[in-house]
Amino acid sequence: MMNKLTISTGKGLACLILLFLFLAQGCKKDILQPNSPLLKNSLSIAEAKQYFDANLGKDNKPEKLMTVDVAKSLVGSITLENKQPLWYHANQRMISLGGAVKIPLDFGEAEVIIDPSTKSVVPFNSLNYLLMYKDSLQRIHAEWVTLLPEAMWIKEQTGAYRGKIFVRDWHGKLIKSYS
């Protein structure tokens, strides 16, 4: 009886040590090298705001926006003059080109109908953000991203994003879209 308990405790302790080592290895962060292009292309929030204020902030011209798909599902009217970046909620993200800045956008009280059969709506603010980043030539890009998720994805909130994604410049000109 005593021998079986000692063997079981020894095996259990060995398994626990192995589990700890695997967890420690799995949680290890990749260390960026000082000469890494990802660090060289990083954009700070201060740089992004300075670029925005100098190049985009003064250019808000009231124009109707969005494709016909989005315009049909909007509750309330949206014009470009309503769109405001929320700099105090800006945060940095790592993308394939390096460090980027994601800034939520405020459109006031506008909502989007996600499921026409149930008339369920989502605040338009929660579906939009401004993404700013530097390319390999150190030029700053500002892309306004709009998400139009499928109703089922919003209900489940599981798995990969399902829906449409529209990427525009700050003035509303479509750059690319994804489904």
What local confidence, expressed as pLDDT, does residue 34 receive? 52
Is residue 28's pLDDT more than 80? Answer: no
Q: What is the overall mean pLDDT for the chain? A: 75
CA distance readout (Å), 79 to 36, 83, 111? 41, 7, 13
How do residues 84-107 score in pLDDT, each as one tens digit? Answer: 999 999 999 998 888 999 999 998
pTM: 0.69
What local confidence, expressed as pLDDT, does residue 71 receive? 47
Residue type, 24: A
Q: Range with the lowest mean pLDDT among 18-22, 39-43, 66-70? A: 66-70
Residue 143 φ/ψ region, left for φ over 0, alpha for ψ in the -120 to 50 degree band, beta for the rest: beta
